[in-house]
């Protein structure tokens, strides 16, 4: 199923600390500019080439050095930006179950979306499939949380539009994807 997958290597990652293994998947949501979908701006942000002059909102974020491991677009397409073995810069200041620096032991998955629009059905399907795929490849990956869970009060995503019960109900019933994921 490689037609739904692409790889764009982001410079916004580094080595995980020695001995760290992936145990957490963090679900995020993003739209650029806010409330708009498509257009390639997310790619540009994660690749470090976002044009600050293209939209007034971009002035405040163009210099950010951020990237999730994956993005699931509203059409179900999956883009990988960071290899699984690398620490993606997606979580920022964060804590999970008393453990700080979630980037060290997590994979970040962005959903193209916001707090105002429901996520697309295909995004839930692809997130469940990608999660199963990652669980096969990363046997200690057991927890799936939202960005708001690891950075409460600082982050809102994936937000009130994300239907956690729907996602969790799908998870055991989907087949993993056969993707050329970069380890």
Catalytic sites, residue numbers: 110
Which of 27, 35, 10, 22 lies closest to 72, judged by CA? 27
What is d(CA 178, CA 183) in angstroms, rounded to the nearest whole number? 14
- For 94-125, give one letter per residue: b (16+ CB within 10 A) or e: bebeeeebbbbbbbbbbbbbbeeeebbeebbe
Tell me the C-alpha distance between 68 and 81, whole Å: 7
Alpha helices by DSSP H, 64-153: 121-137, 147-150
Cα–Cα dist 177/41, whole Å: 26
DSSP 32: S
């Amino acid at each position: 199923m490689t037609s739904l997958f692409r790889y764009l290597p982001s410079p916004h990652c580094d080595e995980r600390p020695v001995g760290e293994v992936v145990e957490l998947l963090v679900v995020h949501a993003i739209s650029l500019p806010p409330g708009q979908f498509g257009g390639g701006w997310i790619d540009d942000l994660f690749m470090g080439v976002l044009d600050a002059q293209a939209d007034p909102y971009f002035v405040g974020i163009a210099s950010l050095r951020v990237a999730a491991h994956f993005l699931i677009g509203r059409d179900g397409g999956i883009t990988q930006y960071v290899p699984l073995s690398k620490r993606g810069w997606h979580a920022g200041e964060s804590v999970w179950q008393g453990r700080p620096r979630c980037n060290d032991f997590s994979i970040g998955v962005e959903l193209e979306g916001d707090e105002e629009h429901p996520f697309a059905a295909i995004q839930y399907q692809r997130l469940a499939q990608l999660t199963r795929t990652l669980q096969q490849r990363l046997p200690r990956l057991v927890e799936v949380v939202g960005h708001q869970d690891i950075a409460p009060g600082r982050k809102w995503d994936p937000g009130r539009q994300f239907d956690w019960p729907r996602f969790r109900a799908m998870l055991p019933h989907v087949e993993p994807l056969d993707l050329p994921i970069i380890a």
